Amino acid sequence: MLATETRRALRAGADFVHLDVFDGNWIKGAFTFGPMVVRALRRHEPKAYLDVHLCVTQPAQYLDELAKAGASRVLLHFEALDRSPAVAKAAAQLAHQLGMEVGLALAPQTHLDSDVLEAAESFDAVLAMTVTPGFGGQAFMHEVLPKVHQLREAFPHKSLEVDGGITVRTAALAAAAGANEAVAGTAVFGAKDLRRAIRDLRKSLERS
């Protein structure tokens, strides 16, 4: 099922596949899959960009297996890295040594303080969650948009991703604030015309 839906999205024009890995500990009750599924998906889609979002208690311990599994980029939560720039930098360095790109993920409640900004320097991308991590179908949190704007001002050349409650309208709002990547679940897979849904989302990002 996952391989089929992934292929369908990629053939419809998706730029990447975003995979949420939950261990059931960091977010209580949220459990998905691990590196074995990433590896299986890589076998099905050898050319796909696999964007793996780790919502786990000890993200660094997964990096070696995810690199071997074929992850293109891993997204590590600052909140799970002891909120420490040193710990975050070490994790980013390890991901790079293993041949992956790496992004710093920020929960909606995490403010942009000096520690976050220092940590983000070591990452290729920053993911600003626009819902509370854990479950799909949540409403977009408009209060995160100022954070997106601040991130773009601080890092004019980094990839800046938003995830949660993404529609054509909210993608445009995020893009206006500075985002250049958006993760969409319901808006894409719940659409009758997958290709059109992806095209419309891309236009929203590019238009702003």
| CA-to-CA separations, 58 to 14, 75, 79, 130, in angstroms, rounded | 30, 13, 10, 22
Residues in contact with 149: Cβ distance below 8 Å, sequence separation at least 6, in sequence order: 177, 178
Q: From 97, 50, 94, 102, select the one nearest 76 (Cα to Cα).
A: 102
C-alpha distances out from residue 205 to 15, 101, 110, Å = 13, 22, 24
Relative orientation angle of helices 168-177 and 194-207, to the nearest 10 degrees = 30
Residue tagged active-site, from 15, 20, 23, 193: 20
Task: Give phi and psi for 33, each to the nearest 5.
Answer: -155, 180
Determine the distance from the C-alpha atom of residue 34 to the mean position of all C-alpha atoms in its chain, rounded to a whole number.
16
Active-site position among 15, 113, 124, 163: 163
Comparing CA positions, the residue from 124, 116, 119, 203 lying closest to residue 161 is 124
**Among this protein's residues, is 163 annotated catalytic?**
yes
The residues that are catalytic are 20, 163
